[in-house]
């Protein structure tokens, strides 16, 4: 390849957030575009002082940039390690050979371990554009991944990131398949399990498509964005933590794939299994309980789907030496009352405090899961896990452990309270016959969750519960009046989210 002095461009940080996809902006009439014959949407290779990145090119025909400037999105700027005064070169990106494997998969050729490793390595290196990732995800959903492919994908996703090690024979972990708003059992389970002397270094995600992830809710009670060293210190000291895993580069491919899955609202079983297990394996777990709520508007909709998914999860986990157990649960309605980071945190604190009006469904689900985990780890005999868990919750040891964990993570704090609220009422007497988890979650998101920690909604009714005309069904919480208006509007147009049947 020839180098041209004129191909060096002054790098300019445009401060544009394009997520993980690097974008470069060049004048259409700049020397590089002219001599290289670039056109908009070309994939180009950027280089600066030993750093390389592949970016999508947008051409500019205005005075936004000078002709010797290259404007960079934040992702591009950071991956090249640039600073003011840096220069970069831009050239045609070499063909990404793993894309031909993706095309092959579209047309039905299964991917072996080596192929999946190549694809995942290229994705993490930023060599795929968002539309290429979209095609990969869609292909793996339209023609579901085989069990071998799921294992290959899981292994590839583990290998491309960091791995935590804990030097303990048993490292407990828990995952929820999700889709159930308010299902915030994790902080309670960690507190119980750690109070009983087991190691449970829990790394959680922020919300992806839901109104709150565990990390979002936990962050309203203590810092969660901890460095690896800090996480180790907390776990050394307290036996457990509830931290955000995002800074650790555990299965970094997962974070990239999930952004596109979210935008497409596509969630295929094979990718879900690889996503869950790659994170857990990378986090050093040896024993894993998986919470799988089943219901018509949960992520897993029926018993048959649950059975197949459970079997596949346990099969793939087994291939990696991870002891996994799936605990099915009732997914017909949310768990707890709050939906949204702070509102869910309040439910968690009420259960840990053994408040009289704490949501009993949340308490019970946390005890079932903690019990299953204690039994799986050999800490309780079969059938006795739940009672053992209840004992440390009721005697205050779990609460104390939780407070100590919060303190170790940087200091316990009180969840914030919303500025704007609006209540919604039943239009008839009757009993609650159906609750739509998905639209309820959407409502909480329209109200501002999870970005606004105090936003979301509080549910005042349960399935089968009696209501009277004019009685409260739920309260919206928001931090901005625009969002309260959007959410209210959606609620008014979807009065069947909570169905009341006359009795």
Q: Which residues bind a copy of itself (CB under 8 A)?
A: 1-2, 4, 7, 13-19, 25, 28, 34-37, 39-41, 58-62, 64, 73-74, 92, 99, 103, 106-108, 129-135, 137-139, 141-143, 259-260, 263-266, 446, 448, 451-452, 480-483, 485-486, 489
Q: How many CA atoms lie within 13 A of 448 on its CB side?
A: 21
Rounded CA separation 281/283 (Å): 5
Closer residue to a copy of itself in complex, CB, 16/407: 16
CB of 113 to a copy of itself, least distance (A): 21
Q: Nearest Cα to 150, choosing from 300, 268, 285?
A: 268
- Cβ count near 422 (within 10 Å): 16
**C-alpha 253: how far from its chain's center?**
12
Residues 6+ apart with CB under 8 A from 459: 182, 334, 337, 338, 339, 435, 440, 473, 474
Q: Judge whether 177 and 292 are in contact, CB under 8 Å.
A: yes
CB of 80 to a copy of itself, least distance (A): 17
Strands 456-459 and 338-339: antiparallel
End-to-end CA distance of the chain: give it in Å, rounded. Answer: 79
CB of 103 to a copy of itself, least distance (A): 6
Exposed / middle / buried, residue 138 (Cβ in 10 Å: 0-12, 13-18, 19+): middle
CB of 201 to a copy of itself, least distance (A): 29
CB of 272 to a copy of itself, least distance (A): 14
Torsions phi, psi for 347 (to 5 deg): -60, -45
Closer residue to a copy of itself in complex, CB, 116/196: 116
Closer residue to a copy of itself in complex, CB, 361/483: 483
What DSSP element (H or E) covers 127? none
Closer residue to a copy of itself in complex, CB, 92/323: 92
CB of 13 to a copy of itself, least distance (A): 7
CB of 320 to a copy of itself, least distance (A): 28
Q: Is 85 left (phi over 0), alpha (psi -120 to 50) or beta?
A: left
Q: Which two tokens stand for residue 224?
A: 């969660």
Closer residue to a copy of itself in complex, CB, 131/387: 131
Q: How many CA atoms lie within 13 A of 52 on its CB side?
A: 10
Closer residue to a copy of itself in complex, CB, 122/132: 132
Q: Judge whether 162 and 227 are in contact, CB under 8 Å.
A: no
Torsions phi, psi for 298 (to 5 deg): -90, 175
Closer residue to a copy of itself in complex, CB, 38/402: 38
3-state class of 357 per DSSP?
Answer: coil
- Cβ count near 343 (within 10 Å): 31
CB of 448 to a copy of itself, least distance (A): 5
Closer residue to a copy of itself in complex, CB, 10/13: 13
Give the DSSP letter string of 401-440.
HHHHHHHHHT---PPP--SEEEEEE-SSSEEEEEE-HHHH
Could you tell me which residues are beta bridge partners of residue 88?
9
CB of 269 to a copy of itself, least distance (A): 11
Which positions are catalytic?
267
* Distances from the Cα of 156 to the Cα of 80, 109, 276, 277, 445, angstroms: 24, 18, 13, 11, 33
Rounded CA separation 472/432 (Å): 12
Question: Residues, the chain, total?
Answer: 503
Closer residue to a copy of itself in complex, CB, 10/462: 10
Rounded CA separation 498/432 (Å): 7
Closer residue to a copy of itself in complex, CB, 63/357: 63
């Amino acid at each position: 390849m020839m180098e041209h002095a004129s191909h060096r461009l002054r790098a300019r940080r445009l401060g544009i957030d394009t997520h993980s996809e690097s974008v470069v902006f060049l004048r259409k009439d700049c020397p590089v575009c002219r001599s290289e014959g670039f056109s908009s949407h070309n994939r180009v290779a950027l280089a600066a002082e030993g750093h390389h990145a592949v970016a999508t090119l947008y051409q500019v025909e205005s005075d936004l940039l000078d002709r010797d400037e290259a404007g960079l999105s934040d992702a591009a700027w950071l991956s090249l390690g640039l600073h003011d005064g840096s220069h970069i070169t831009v050239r045609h990106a070499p063909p990404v050979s793993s894309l031909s494997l993706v095309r092959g998969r579209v047309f039905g050729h299964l991917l072996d371990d080596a192929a999946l490793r190549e694809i995942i390595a290229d994705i993490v290196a930023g060599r795929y554009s968002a539309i290429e990732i979209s095609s990969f995800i869609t292909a793996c959903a339209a023609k579901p991944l085989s069990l071998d492919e799921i294992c290959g994908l899981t292994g590839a996703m583990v290998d491309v990131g960091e791995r935590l090690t804990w030097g303990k024979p048993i490292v407990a972990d828990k995952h929820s398949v999700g889709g159930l708003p308010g299902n915030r059992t994790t902080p309670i389970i960690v507190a119980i399990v750690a109070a009983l002397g087991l190691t449970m270094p829990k790394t959680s995600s922020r919300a992806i498509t839901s109104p709150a992830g565990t990390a979002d809710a936990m962050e309203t009670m203590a810092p969660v964005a901890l460095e690896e060293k800090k996480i180790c210190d907390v776990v050394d000291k307290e036996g457990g933590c509830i931290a955000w895993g995002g800074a650790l580069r555990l299965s970094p491919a997962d974070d990239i794939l999930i952004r596109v899955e979210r935008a497409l609202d596509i969630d295929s079983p094979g990718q879900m299994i690889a996503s869950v297990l790659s994170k857990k394996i990378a986090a050093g777990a040896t024993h894993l309980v998986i919470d799988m709520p089943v219901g018509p508007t949960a992520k897993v909709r029926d018993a048959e789907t649950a059975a197949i998914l459970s079997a596949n999860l346990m099969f793939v986990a087994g291939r990696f030496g991870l002891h996994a157990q799936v605990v099915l649960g009732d997914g017909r309605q949310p768990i707890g009352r709050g939906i949204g980071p702070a509102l869910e945190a309040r439910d968690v604190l009420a259960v840990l405090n053994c408040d009289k009006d704490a949501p009993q469904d949340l308490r019970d689900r946390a005890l079932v899961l903690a019990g299953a985990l204690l039994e799986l780890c050999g800490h309780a005999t079969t059938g006795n896990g739940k009672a053992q868990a209840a004992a440390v919750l009721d005697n205050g040891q779990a609460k104390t452990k939780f407070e100590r964990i919060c303190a170790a993570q940087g200091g316990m704090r009180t969840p914030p309270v919303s500025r704007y609220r609006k209540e919604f009422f039943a239009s008839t007497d009757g009993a609650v016959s159906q609750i739509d988890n998905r639209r309820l979650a959407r409502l909480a998101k329209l109200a501002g969750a999870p970005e606004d920690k105090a936003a979301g909604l509080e549910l005042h009714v349960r399935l089968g519960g009696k209501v009277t005309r004019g009685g409260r069904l739920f309260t919206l919480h928001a931090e901005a009046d625009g969002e309260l208006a959007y959410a209210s509007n959606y609620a008014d147009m979807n009065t069947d989210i909570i169905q009341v049947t006359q009795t």
